[in-house]
Structures are given as structure tokens and as C-alpha cells.
Amino acid sequence: MIDKDKLDLLAPCIATCPQGNDIRAVMAIISEADRLERPRGEAFEEAWRVLTRTNPLPAVCGRVCPHPCETACNLCDRGCGIAINDIERFLGDWAISHELKHTRIQAQTHPEKIAVIGSGPAGLACAYHLARRGYNVTIFEAQQKSGGMMRYGIPEYRLPTDIIEAEIENILDLGIELRTGVEVGGDLSFVELQSEYDVVFIGVGAQKGIKLYCRGEDAPNVTGGVEFLRRTTDDKSFHPGDRVVVVGGGDTAVDAARVALRLGSEVTIMYRRTRNEMPAIKEEIREAEAEGVKIEFLSAPKEIETRDERAVAIIGQRMQLGEPDDSGRRRPVPIIGEEFRIDADLVIVAVSQTADWNGPTEVTNRRGWIEADDWGDTGFKMTYAGGDVKGLGLVADAVHQGTKAAEAIHARLRGEDLPVEIKPTLVTTEQISLAKTEPAPRHEGGKLSVKERRERLWAEIKSTITVDEAVAEADRCVKCGTTFLSKRTTPLLLLRRFTQFGIGVVLFNSYFSVFSTKTIYAGPLRNICVPGLNCHACPTATMGCPIGMMQYFAATHRFPWFLIGFLGIIGLISGRFTCGWLCPFGFVQDMVHSFKKLNIRIPRPLYYFKYVVLVTLVFIIPYLTYEHWFSKLCPCGALIAAIPWAIWNPVQPQFDTTAVPLDAIGSMYWIKIWILGVFLMLFLFIKRPFCRTICPLGAIYALFNRISLVSLRVKESCTNCGRCRELCPMDLDFRTEINSENCIKCFDCTQCEHVEFSWNLPWGSVAEASRLRAPPVEGEAIGGPVTTSRGNR
């Protein structure tokens, strides 16, 4: 489901994925691994678990899905989209080779028993999601082996049997019972099934071929496409004859043609429209032609010529395209008098399929398809359905329909409401900075040459990408929606900018009459230190800097009891909240970095250097030298105090000019200005480097950050997509660093729906509703927007 709060953040790849896979999160987890110095294997496992929230068959779908997500990718505007299918396949294969196991969403079990008819993609997906929720699920399969059309309808050179079996076995390990060789409607009646089980899901697929209804079709060497593929799956020694004609233009027709070619036949496909209208996957059409399959476009069978009751040829009719029909494709119209003949030892009819359903007719329409709503509910006695039994589609479509049915069944049994599906608003190329994206080569799995395919007939044609290629390809992803989100001006961000400037800069650090009176403010407020890093030496300052005061106490060999108590109270209440909301130098860093061209990340050990600065420059050196050495070098003081002092010269009116003469400025001034200049350059390329590595006041507040009253919480629904890191001005990894000594409690991260503000109370944390709400953990976002792609599978 699409969470309402994600509407303006949805990447087009997620929106067009039939299963609604969180592709952006998967890419972020993989691409961030190296930068976070995280083991790649750990990242791959996490990415696989995010992917299997919606798709329990990633190794299968990574091989057979036509990947509409890739053509929708915004990077297509820069040449080529992300190889999402290759990464999905990589994760599926990696999980198999490393024996990763699915886990349940909850430990609680439910008493209801669920029967699933059919072990194809729809049935497996439905059983998987229900088993993860604690239901007792039994799958009934008419064939002797599970997999449905994945096993019997897709050739092994595209989808190896061991891949199917490995992913099915992992699903069954959730405690699902599989009964093969049991046909519902034959060996077991549907009424018996309903009497024993609380809910029935029908996912039998569409394995009955549709006839041509032409003369000669009843010959024994005329067979259906699905029947041919099923036979050759079990018997690779079968020889169909020297010449095979396949009628049809869908995936089943192309697969049957390529299989017949591998069995030693010369193969011709007859299709009644042109290449553009051919519904099979375009890549598979190109591969078939490269291997030697001949395609007769704009041709349709008129009759099958027989001799001794066997088909010997097919009589074809030349066609032309007329007006569009109900499908939107132009209707093929016969060209009178233009016929042709093709010799054939075997004719394979693969024009379409229909549901092979022997159950109650209350759930079917007049064409034999099962009628059900978008959630799979047939409206008949707790019966649900999904997959090709509702209408022909992709494996990915079937998985999604099984997933939605599982969610509907769970909601109905638990008395819950179904999620509201909302059409998403997509992130477009105008909302992300593709111009700043460095072009990088696309990484795809290699393919066997045609010569190699002839030598290794049933070997898988395409290979899986390597670990390095998977990381590099995921790194190409621009995380559409994340980039857009990080640039949004939200009410929370506007409030923070107002407090940073209005309070941190103006109220605490400005006494505007100094510019006319040229007199340093010396009122009672000067004896009060502010929470943020200001400069008490500034002629316009109204309040004192806590670090300056601390150096004063160290230089005079006195202990700052009041100051330590003041900072301790602020730290216990808010931690480093001051750094994010009140510090004027933090405001400067944020503003300068907003013009960034890139973001350089600081090595983690440098984060601890601020404690060295605190101990040495604030305590030890002032104690030994009686000098405020940090204030002499502080770039914040240079910006707030030194530069205004030199320009307005408020305390030396004896000079003729308003500004201080250059020969009257000491060398420390220029050192201070040079340090400021270096930091201003760093601000362009690094997020808040002064706060993270130098600031001694931040070091003091950091000591209280984990125990402060003001806190943040990452929800259990977090997918580690990296969105919060893109938003964070301190460049934190929220998996390990939320509320750490470097978190400045700015709350920018709460723009992500998985992070929320909370009160860190002694008796436990109390979370407040953040600006965005995450979906319930148990729902785990199963399902997504459906983009229907019609074909023969």
C-alpha cells in the first residue's frame, strides 16, 4: 500500500512496480554500505528483507519480470535507468547461496486455517504473507511438483529449476504444508475444502490453451503452448519434428518457439499483427530472432492441412492493420487472395490461455474467469482469488494479487479495515537535480552467445551481476524523493531558521545602537552567558559566550560552579538542541552548505577531536598561560567580533577613518581571519565540520545527549533507506547514531515518516506524533500500486 504521507515523495520505479517494492530503500541500503563502513553482506541481507516484504520470489522475478520500473526510472532522461531487475536477481541469488531464511512478522499465532489452491506465484505469495502473520496455511497442488507456471510454463534457460525450488522451499519453511498431486474439484471437492478451512484462496492460474477453431486443429500433432512447455519440462529428449510452426505472439509462444529450436527443429512464429503490437517481452523477441526463430508478422492461420489425420502444413492468411479494437491495438484485417503455406511437423497453438477451474461456478463469469475485486474477494463464502485465474498477467502481477488477498484475508479475520489506496504523485526529473548527477555506466548481467547457447542448450542465458557490480549499480540511483525531500522548505525548517537568526544572531548577539554610539554594550545582560556559541568580545554582543567565560575561570584558577550548573541543566533538558536551533555559527554553516556541489564525509575518529579542543584550549592552556587561547583562534569570534570591530571601530574614535587602519591590526587578527576562511571553504563541501570536530561547547552538550529530555526515536518500520541521512545537517547514520553525541536535535530527520520526536522520561520514552506517520509495523507495507501488463503469462 502507498502510505498517504508518501504521496509527494514517491519514486516512479516504486509506483510502476507491479508489487510496489520499495526499490529506493533497497538501493539506498546497498549503496550506503561502503560509505558507512558496514559489511556488505549485512547490507545485502537487509536489502533482501526489505524486498521480500512485498515479493517473496526475488530470484524468480529478477529473471522473468519485464521490469516496467526500469523504463520509468528518472535516469532514463540521462541515458539509461537503473538495472533494478539485475539487483533484484542478485539479492535473490545471494540469499539462496547464503541460506537466508524468512521470518515471521509476529510470534502470535491465529486459530484460523487457510487453504490455498495452486502453488504458482499468486498462491505462494498469499501463503507466505499469511504464514508470516501466524496463520496455519496448506497449499494444494494438482501437479506432482510445486511452482505452477513458473515451473511448467517458463523454460529452464530463463528460469532454472533449482532457483524455483530454493525460493519455494524457503517459503514453505515458514510452516506451510504443501500437498502435491491433489486436484481440487477432482481428488478433493471444493465443498469438502470449505468445510475444513476457514478461508480458501484460489490461485490455479490459466493453463488451459484456447483453440484456433479452424479445420485440422484436432490432429494429434497440434498442441497447445502450455501443454508443449509442460511436456518438454519433464522430457528434454522429446523431438517435435524438423519443422515447427507456433501460432501466437505472447510470452508462451516465444518460449515454445525457443524450446522447439533447442530440441532440433526449424521454427516459425505466425503473428497476426506487427512487431510493435506483439505482447511478448521485447527482449525475448529479439533473443528468439538472434537464435534463429523466424517470425511471420501480419499472418494468421486459415486452416491446418492434414494427411493421414496428421498435420503436415499450415495455410496462412496475410493481414493488414485496420481500426483499433477494444484492447487499443489496431485490428488485423485479412487481405483477400493473399494466402501462403508453411510445412509443419508440429503446430503449437499459443494464442492465449484461460482458467482451468473445476470448482463452483458462482465465482466465475461466462468466459470462465474468476470474478473478484481488487483485494481478491469473490464475495462467495470466504473465497478469495488471484493471479492468472482472474485474467492473464505477469508473474509479478500474480505475486501482487496474492499479497493483496493475504492482506484482505488478515484484515477480515481480525476485524480490521483495509488500507485506503491512493494514486501517488510521482517525483519528476524537474524536482531532482539530475544535471548534478555524474553519468556512470550501467551494470548488467552478461549473456551467453548464440554459439554457446547451441552448445549448452538448457544453460541459463543471462548471468547474475557480481557483488561489486551490484554496489556500483545501486550507487547510480539518485534516490528520487529523498533528494526532493531534502530540498523542501517545511514549516519546521522555517521555524528553525527563524530561531537561529532571530534569537541566536539578533537577540543574543546584537546591540544595534553600538553602530551609532560606538560604545561597547556593558549592561547587566553582559554578565549572562547564552546557550549557544556566541562571542562575548563582540562590540555588539548583549550576552556572554559560555566558552569565553569558561576560559576566564580557567585563567583565573577558579572553578565555574554557576556556569557548569547552567550548561548541565540545558544539557539535561535538551542535549545539543541549542546547536541545531540557537547557535549563530551553526546557522552560518547550514547556509553556506546549502550552496554545496558535493558532500565529503568526515572520518568518524575526527569526531572526538572536539574533546581534545575542550580539554586543551579551553581548560589546560588558559590555566597555564592566563590567556583565552580558544577565543583568540575561534572562527565564530572572527565572524561575529573581529570583523565588525575592524570595520566599525567603536572604541577608537581617535582614528580619522571609521575602520581601524591596517597597520593597527595585529597578526592574531589575520590568523583568525585565515582560519575563518578555511572553515567557510569547508562549509561548502562538508556538513557542519566545526560542530562535528572542533566546537568545545558542542562537546559539553554532547555528554548529555543520550540522556536528555528532548529525544528522537526511529520506528521499527524503518527500512534504512538513507533518507534521514540525506536530511541530517550532521550527516549521521541513524541506524547507530540517533541521539548520539553528534545529533543536534534539529528534527530535520522527522520529515521521514519513520523518525519521530519523543520525551526521554525516567520511566520510559514517550513518542509524539511526528509530522509524518509510518504504516503499522504488522502491515509492513505489503502491496503497492498496480501497473497491469497484459501478456500470455
Query: How do residues 365-391 score in pLDDT, each as one tens digit?
Result: 877 788 899 899 998 889 999 998 888
What does DSSP assign to residue 605?
Answer: G
Q: How far apart are CA 339 and CA 301, in angstroms?
A: 9
Cα 321 from chain centre: 41
By CB atoms closer than 10 A (0-12, 13-18, 19+), residue 455 is exposed
Q: How many CB atoms lie within 10 A of CB 307?
A: 10
Please determine, for residue 486, whether its predicted confidence score (pLDDT) is greater than 90. Answer: no
Kindly report, residue by residue over 326-368, the tens digit of the pLDDT: 777 789 999 999 999 999 999 999 998 888 787 777 888 877 7
* Contact between 104 and 132 (Cβ < 8 Å): yes
Location of C-alpha cell 492468411: 317
Considering the segment(s) 4-102+422-484 as one domain, its CATH architecture is Orthogonal Bundle (1.10)
Chain-wide mean pLDDT for the chain? 84
What's the Rg (C-alpha) of the chain? 34
| Integer Cα distance of 290 and 124 in angstroms | 34
3-class SS of residue 314: strand
Q: How is the beta sheet containing 199-202 ordered, strand by strand?
A: 177-180, 136-141, 113-117, 199-202, 383-385, 377-380
- Per-position b or e across 609-631, b if 16+ CB within 10 A of its CB: ebeebbeebbbebbeeeeebbbb
Distance of CA 307 to the CA centre of its chain: 58
For 621-635, the pLDDT digits (tens) are 999 998 888 888 888
Cβ–Cβ under 8 Å, residues 301 and 332? no
The pLDDT value recorded for residue 134 is 94
DSSP track, 501-525: IIIIIIIHH--TTHHHH-----SGG
Residue closest to 772 by CA, chosen among 2, 25, 23, 4? 4
Instruction: Compute the distance between CA of residue 753 and CA of residue 750 in angstroms, rounded to an integer.
Output: 7
pLDDT of residue 780: 40
Predicted confidence at residue 59, as pLDDT, reads 97
3-state secondary structure of 349: strand
What values do phi and psi take at 453, rounded to 5?
A: -65, -35
Selected residue with higher pLDDT from 737 and 279: 279
What strands, in cross-sheet order, belong to the sheet with 330-343? 299-307, 310-324, 330-343
Task: Check residue 642 and report its DSSP letter.
Answer: I
139 neighbors 146 (Cβ within 8 angstroms): yes
Task: Judge contact between 200 and 193, C-beta under 8 A.
Answer: yes
- Average pLDDT of 403-409? 95
pLDDT in tens, 512-565: 666 666 666 677 777 778 887 777 666 666 777 888 888 888 999 999 888 889
Q: Tell which wins on pLDDT, 568 or 439.
A: 568
The answer to whether the beta carbons of residues 201 and 386 sit under 8 Å apart is yes
Q: Establish whether domains 113-205+356-414 and 211-351 are of one fold.
A: yes
Residues 6 or more apart in contact with residue 410 via CB below 8 angstroms: 129, 130, 133, 135, 416
CA torsion through residues 238, 241, 243, 245, sign: negative
113-205+356-414 to CATH, choices 3.40.50.2020, 3.40.50.300, 1.10.260.40, 3.50.50.60 = 3.50.50.60
Residue tagged 565564530 (cell numbers)? 636
Which ranges of 135-206 would DSSP assign to H, the alpha helix? 149-152, 161-172, 190-196
CATH number listed for the domain at residues 211-351: 3.50.50.60
Q: What is the mean pLDDT of residues 756-777?
A: 53
Question: How many Cβ atoms from other residues are within 10 Å of residue 153's Cβ?
Answer: 28
What percent of the chain stands above pLDDT 90?
47
Burial class (CB in 10 A: 0-12, 13-18, 19+), 44: buried
- At residue 525, what is the residue type? L
Nearest of 531, 483, 506 to residue 640 by alpha carbon: 506
At residue 390, what is the residue type?
K
Q: Whose CA is closest to 429, among 386, 483, 369, 495?
A: 483
- Give the highest mean pLDDT range of 67-81, 357-371, 687-701: 687-701
Q: Using an 8 Å Cβ cutoff, are 122 and 399 in contact? A: yes
Residue spans of the domains in the chain: they are 4-102+422-484, 113-205+356-414, 211-351, 489-702, 710-766
Question: How far does the chain reach from its first CA to its final CA, in angstroms?
Answer: 24
User: What is the mean predicted confidence (pLDDT) over 409-418?
Assistant: 92
DSSP 409-474: HHHHHHT-PPPPP-PPPBPPGGGTTGGGSPP-------B--HHHHHHSTTS-SBPPPPHHHHHHHH
- Cα distance between residue 492 and residue 629, in whole Å: 37
Q: How far apart are CA 448 and CA 429, in angstroms?
A: 35
Highest mean predicted confidence (pLDDT) among 37-46, 76-85, 227-236, 289-298:
289-298
Tens of pLDDT along 223-239?
999 999 999 988 888 99
